Chain A
Amino acid sequence: MLAFLAVAVAWAPSGARAGGEGFGPDDHAPDEGPAYFGFVKDERGAPVRDAKVSASYKTSLTLVTRTNATGGYKVRGFKKEISPSDVVITCAKEGYRQLRVLRRPPPKGKPVLSVETECRLQRE
């Protein structure tokens, strides 16, 4: 399985923060693929802070982060070779269940630099 993991992980950012703060000059690797970002909201559309967001590639490699105060998150570290369609975003928080995940289609005809996905939670 690591046969693909070895080519799946680009040098992951060390200083990244949920929501995108803290990306410094060290954070980009030439072989890195797009960033995955978005917001986690509740059923009324209010932001959910400190939700756990997982970006999983074929279940065997997962990057995990948490949302900031605005419900925002951002992760990167997958290599360019990884198709965004193979990366699944999920969100979770105690007392909630995942309602739905909505991925914004990337602009056509342009290289994909980032992939926006909104995740909705519902209180249990």
Chain B
Amino acid sequence: MPLSCRVRGSHIARLFPIVLAVAASAACAQATILRYGQAASAARSIFSLPVAVAEREGLFRREGLDFRIVIPIPGGSDKMIDALHDDTVDVTHVATPFLVRAALAGSDAVAIAAEFNNPVYSLVARPEIQRIADLKGKLVGLADPAGSITISMRKLLALHGVRESDIRVKILEGTPTRLNCLRRGECAAVPLGQPQDLLAQSEGYRLLGVSNDAVPEFLYTVTAARRSWAAANPDAVVRYVRALAAAFRIIRDPEKRGAVVKIIVETTGVPPAIAERTLALYFEPGRKVLPRQGEIDLAGLAQVIAFMGEAGQIKAPLPAPERFVDLRYLRLAGVR
């Protein structure tokens, strides 16, 4: 807490010992700056939803956080942990394979809360492509080769007898970029997250399959912090986790559905009907796309580690998922 707050709090406390001291404390708490790293590719995608809801609904402010979004340029999933280490951000959104890879390379970054589980990535193609097997010899836009999007797409293609060597691949970071490639006619097919996959289908593009057909449930994106930073700033971390947990409760609240749809529309630029369909998809029985309160599913993280082992990115014996998380802040925030 800034010195000015402590001084002001003491001064007020001398005059009105309890009530105003509490009020002053709350006011001062607003000065706690928290810099949140967001990948450029996530800034206008559905994956910014939990943080967008927390911000829009005033949940960070309620927790006394001055929440600031920082976007590293050049972006990319692999840059987010770097941003923790060079003091560009305090906490960051990151896809789990990149967290695991950084931790195995010596980073002390750990997951402190879950943001998205079990994403639904749709393989969407130009209208003339009838089925996945038709992609042989064609250009397919994929995400970072080390990430779970590409891993799940490889598995989906394999289910239909298509190996990666059968297609031409262009690496494109972020659903909006991949959708652009499809619209330009350069890519024959691309994996798209929501809501752009639904938008593309409404424009006549063809859905060939979804990632969930090929991969079991896994932990997709988390908020990460350096252990050392979090240990030195536990109050800020707990307040962040508490706000995030409240955001997930709002997203699940049917009475708040209109407000959440509005946030999706403003963040991603899709029509309200597409935003509605996105939420309906996420809450289909068994989808489990969104955590209930930011809780971390260790089995889902173990699945990511297994993916990385299968892809040859890490060698056996595979590390335990507990190595990559610190659950104390969730516990302190009352999330089980």
Contact = CB atoms under 8 A, between A and B. Distances in A.
Given A1-B67, A26-B181, A15 B74 contact: yes
The interface centre, meaning the residue of A3, A15, A16, A60 with most chain B CB atoms within 10 A of its CB, is: A15
Contacts of B74: 13-18, 22, 65
Interface stretch (A4-12, A80-88, A107-115): A4-12
B78 to A, nearest CB: 12
Interface residues of B, number: 36
Contacts of B88: 52, 64
Contacts of B266: 3, 6-7
Given A7-B266, A12-B75, A52-B86, A64 B70 contact: yes
A1 B30 CA distance: 13
A59 B172 CA distance: 30
A18 B172 CA distance: 19
Contact of B71 (A3, A31, A63): A63
Interface stretch (B36-44, B145-153, B280-288, B297-305): B36-44
A7 B15 CA distance: 44
Interface string B22-39: 000000000000010000
Contacts of B68: 59-62
B52 A65 contact: no
A72 to B, nearest CB: 13
Given A6-B266, A9-B43, A13-B73, A26 B172 contact: yes
A5 B72 CA distance: 16
A14 B76 contact: yes
B56 A3 contact: yes
A65 B76 CA distance: 13
B276 interface: no
Contact of B73 (A11, A29, A75): A75
B55 A9 contact: no
Interface in B74-94: 74-76, 83, 86, 88
Given A52-B86, A52-B88, A11 B69 contact: no
Contact of B69 (A5, A22, A25): A5
Interface string B110-140: 0000000000000000000000000000000
A77 interface: yes
B184 interface: yes
Interface in B140-187: 172-174, 176-177, 180-181, 184
B10 interface: no
Given A14-B41, A26-B177, A62 B55 contact: no
Contacts of A18: 74
A60 B71 CA distance: 11
Interface of B: 35, 40-41, 43-44, 51-52, 55-56, 60-61, 67-76, 83, 86, 88, 172-174, 176-177, 180-181, 184, 263, 266-267, 269
15 contacts: A2-B263, A3-B56, A5-B55, A9-B43, A10-B44, A12-B40, A12-B43, A14-B76, A26-B177, A26-B181, A61-B68, A63-B71, A64-B70, A64-B83, A64-B88
Given A11-B43, A59-B68, 13 more contacts: A1-B60, A6-B267, A7-B266, A9-B43, A9-B71, A12-B44, A16-B75, A18-B74, A25-B180, A52-B86, A60-B69, A62-B70, A64-B72
